[in-house]
Amino acid sequence: MMLSVIVLSAGCETTKKVPVEFCDVARSIWFESAAEVDATPTRVIRQIVRNNEMVLQLCREPR
């Protein structure tokens, strides 16, 4: 019984290398015009602002 637990848990300990880093693919989101901002719901604008702040904080450069 103990051997089967060790064998089963051994597979869970492996980690896979992610082929890209977050900052390689993360981008800030920008609006093309004031009309786009006006047409965008407030909740979505908040999400975009949070995304842009996170990208700036984690990647240290706007993209």
User: Which residues make Cβ contacts (< 8 Å) with residue 51, sequence separation at least 6?
Assistant: 28, 29
Higher pLDDT, 19 or 8: 19
d(CA 3, CA 9): 10
Band (7; pLDDT cuts 50, 70, 90): low
The domain locations on the chain are 18-63
Query: pLDDT of 43-54, one tens digit each?
Result: 999 999 999 999
